[in-house]
Amino acid sequence: MKIHYINILMFALPLNILVYNQRNHKSITPHIPNENPIKTHRSLCECELYEPKNYDNDHEMLSVMQDFDRQTSQRFREYDQRMIKNRQKCKDQCEKDIQKIILKDKIKKELKEKLDTLETNIYNKDLPICECEKSLTDKVEKGCLGCGVFGSGIAPNVGLFGEVALGAWKTAALVTAKKLAAEAGATEGASKGAAAGVEVVISELNTELGVSNLGGELLKTFINPKNYNNVEYIYQALYTKYKGLSCIQYGSVSAPITDPDKTFCTSVFEKYFYISNGSGDVSIPDVIRTTVKEIVGRSEITAEGTKEMVTGEVTLEAIKTNTAAVDTTYAGSQIAIIASIFAILIIVLVMVIIYLILRYKRKRKMKKKLQYIKLLKE
């Protein structure tokens, strides 16, 4: 072994000689001196501006550091608050779950202990139905009961309030019917009265003055319900007609002569002598105006009487007609209300019957489940 050590040391000596001999390090590449020497640059951390002593004296840097510290602290505080809330929420939820598990285990244990003391021939159909899993029968029974109670309360109210509302409607309808009848009677009476007045004026003009036409028209066309009581209008037409006729002048009056309208001239002349008694104090225009006033006065009296009579008759007839219509509508509405009440009562009766049947069946089943219901209530 010593021989091997000696050989290794002897081999290392020539190797050192070869490494440190400069003649063995010849290079064929010529070395050219660098005319542009590389400048050495100082790094950022070597600047005096960023030394710790300058950090402490720089106000801007201090402000930035303070803002950073403040915002960081605020973020950490908000994070801690959220974590506290979340931890509390998780803790409460865990406690609730633990309580539910404990309660469930306790109930199971108690049920198992008490069921062991009961008879063993228990079937699933004998167990009570859970409130959250009601059968269709229970739902129908509850619905029928609600419909029966609700419908039994509605039916009397429909009859009561329906009759009250219908009575109020009938009263208002009768008042409206009478008002409309009065308006219709007044309109019809005014129309009939005016027509009667027109007839009187035409008849009196033809009888007293012998006039059959005025203004180139027949009296039926010239006199109408709008102007039959206009004294000035009729007077102007008559006086114009009188002036247009050929009459012999006798003093201040005209004596009638033979012409197609001699009847009119004769009538006016007679009226003149009758009113003036031959004194000559009254003129022909005054005679015509006075005669027209008398005729119009009689026509207005006739028109007013006819108006009152026709108004009363038409109003009474309209009241009867409108009242009959209101009574017919009222009777129809009563029939509809009664039919609705009967329909509601029939529906309620059917619901009550269904409820009683389902209730009877449920009671029979509940006789077997009483001890289990008592057990669950405990």
Q: For 41-90, give the DSSP string.
A: ---GGGSGGGSHHHHHH-HHHHHHHHHHHHHHHHHHHHHHHHHHHHHHHH
111 in a domain, yes or no?
Answer: no
pLDDT given at position 187: 81
Whether residue 208 is contained in a domain is answered as yes
pLDDT score for 258: 40
The reply to whether 25 falls in a domain is no
Do both 251 and 147 map to the same domain?
Answer: yes
How confident is the prediction for the chain on average, in pLDDT?
A: 70
Same-domain pairing of 193 and 82: no
Out of 12-16, 150-154, 274-278, 370-374, least confident range: 150-154
Residue 265 and residue 170 in one domain:
yes
Which range, of 68-77, 158-167, 363-372, averages the lowest pLDDT? 158-167
93, 203: one domain: no
Number of folded domains in the chain?
2
| In contact, 211 and 241? CB cutoff 8 Å | yes
In-domain check, residue 136: no
Q: Answer whether residue 130 shows pLDDT above 50.
A: no
**Same-domain status, 305 and 182:** yes
pLDDT at 66: 87
Query: Taking 50 as the threshold, does the pLDDT of residue 131 lie above it?
Result: no
pLDDT at 57: 73
Say if residue 99 is in the same domain as residue 246: no
What are the pLDDT digits (tens) for 188-233?
A: 878 888 888 888 888 877 777 777 777 666 777 777 888 877 888 8
Supply the pLDDT for residue 249. Answer: 46
In a domain, 324, yes or no: yes
User: Is 125 contained in some domain?
Assistant: no
Q: Is the pLDDT of residue 250 over 80?
A: no
127 in a structural domain: no
Percent of the chain with pLDDT over 90: 1
pLDDT of residue 211: 76
Helix, strand, coil shares of the chain, percent, nearest 5, are 80, 5, 20
Q: Which of 15-19, 32-36, 97-101, 288-292 has the lowest mean pLDDT?
A: 32-36
The reply to whether the predicted model has a pTM over 0.85 is no
If pLDDT is split at 50, 70 and 90, which confidence band does 365 have? Answer: confident
Q: Domain residues for 250?
A: 141-364
Sequence-distant (6+) residues with CB within 8 A of 358 are: 137, 140, 141, 144
- Are residues 175 and 247 both part of a single domain? yes
Both 146 and 101 in one domain: the answer is no
Q: Are residues 292 and 145 in the same domain?
A: yes
Whether residue 347 has pLDDT greater than 80:
yes
